[in-house]
Amino acid sequence: MVVALTAAALYVVHLRESRSEFLQHYWSFAFAPWPWWTNLRWYYETIASFLNEPAGLPVTILTVIVLLLGAISLFGRHWQPALYLTASLALCVLASTLALYPFTGRLLVFWVPVSYLLVAEGIERCRLLVWTIHPMAARMMWAGMAGFMTYGVAAAACRTLDTLPGRENIKPILAHLRQHMLEGDTVYVYYGAVPAFRFYAPFYGLERREVVLGELARDQPERYLADIETLRDRAGVWFVFTHNCASCLVNEREFIIAHLDKTAVKGDERGDSSAALYLYDMQRTE
């Protein structure tokens, strides 16, 4: 009852008016088809995608069989906890069918621990079945299956320890901006960089500068150019980029910079693919 009341309150306060036409289009590939038999390939690709990322399990028929065997075994031994664990997946599929929840990638991270539990249950059930025939073979099979299932997760963990994932570090470019920005210069902040810029700007004395915050226009990239053209009378405009959307209709940073390279004169450039800073003289074209 408490869970139901909490879900109802969450829907009324936050979700009732949150449907976005852009997000509906963006996540359209992750909504389950209905009737389900009209597109079995979608279910196959979705399962394979989940096993690979975020679960990190081998994308094989053996993995699927072990998962199913683990679910059956768990339901046979403790049907109520098994129902609690697996009901969330069924509800997500239902919500995805109604185009209410994308069934893909990071939005399924919450189900990764459950998948590991079912895999462990499935491996143990296989061991018990073989044990009655040949105990040594059961031990060897258990070790081999456990190693096979956990190899991907362990390898990914080792890669992460060896090379930490990159971060979109805005601080070095803000430090460069503070050092080289002149009186009268303007800062244009790409919408993806706005949250980080707002947080760090006071540390670099940039909150008192003239700042233009870019608008989100992923479905109409030409609006970025129209936004930039309003700065045409400025001699020095610094463009701050982080969290670029490279998989949108266009690679947004490249799209904007290509336009600026044609219509203005570049004076400075700092950063890398994750966070970058550009200075353009908007009054000159060559």
What whole-number distance in Å separates Cα of residue 231 and Cα of residue 234? 6
The answer to whether residue 277 scores a pLDDT higher than 90 is: yes
Span 41-66, average pLDDT: 86
The answer to whether residue 120 scores a pLDDT higher than 70 is: yes
Give 271's contacts (C-beta < 8 A, 6+ positions apart).
172, 173, 241, 277
Collapse the DSSP code of 169 into the 3-class scheme (helix H, G, I; strand E, B; otherwise coil) and give the result: coil
The answer to whether residue 65 scores a pLDDT higher than 60 is: yes
* C-alpha separations of 286 from 46, 95, 121, 224, 225 in Å: 50, 54, 68, 22, 19
If pLDDT is split at 50, 70 and 90, which confidence band does 16 have? low
What whole-number distance in Å separates Cα of residue 143 and Cα of residue 134? 15
153-212, pLDDT tens digit by residue? 888 777 767 665 667 789 999 999 999 988 889 999 999 999 899 999 999 888 788 889
pLDDT for the residue numbered 162: 63
What are the structural domains of the chain?
A: 18-162 (no CATH), 171-281 (3.40.190)
The answer to whether residue 117 scores a pLDDT higher than 80 is: yes
Q: pLDDT > 70: what percent of the chain?
A: 91
Give 81's contacts (C-beta < 8 A, 6+ positions apart).
74
- Contact, 70 vs 78, CB < 8 A? no
